[in-house]
C-alpha cells in the first residue's frame, strides 16, 4: 500500500489502473490522462495491462503467457465487469 501511495504521489502520472478485492467484492477503477495524445492512450493502457500480467504471473509463479491466455479466456466469458468474485465463471 505504501508503494502504491508513493507511485501515485506526483503530477507526472500518465495513467493509473487500480483493482481491489476486499471480502470477495471486486472494485476496479481505471483512469487515464491523455495529454492531447489520444493515439498514445491505447498504448499506455496496453502497457499497464502487460505490466499487470507480469506482476500476477510473478506472484503466481507461472509464465506471463499463461496469465495472459487465462485472462483473455476469462474476458471472453464475462459479459460485464464482475462486482464480486462469486460472479466469475467457474472455469
pLDDT number for residue 64: 95
Helix, coil or strand: residue 27: strand
Helix residue ranges, H only, 15-81: 38-60, 64-77
Instruction: Please report which confidence band the pLDDT of residue 33 belongs to, taking 50, 70 and 90 as the band edges.
Output: low
Residue with the bigger pLDDT between 51 and 82: it is 51
- The larger pLDDT score, comparing residue 67 to residue 90, is at 67
| pTM of the predicted protein model | 0.58
Amino acid at each position: 500500500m505504501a508503494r502504491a501511495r508513493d507511485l501515485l504521489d506526483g503530477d507526472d502520472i500518465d495513467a493509473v489502473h487500480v483493482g481491489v478485492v476486499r471480502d470477495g467484492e471486486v472494485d476496479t477503477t481505471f483512469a487515464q490522462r491523455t495529454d492531447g495524445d489520444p493515439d498514445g492512450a491505447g498504448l499506455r493502457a496496453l502497457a499497464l495491462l502487460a505490466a499487470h500480467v507480469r506482476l500476477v504471473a510473478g506472484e503466481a509463479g507461472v509464465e506471463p503467457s499463461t496469465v495472459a491466455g487465462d485472462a483473455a479466456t476469462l474476458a471472453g466469458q464475462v459479459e460485464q465487469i464482475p462486482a464480486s468474485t462469486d460472479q466469475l465463471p467457474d472455469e
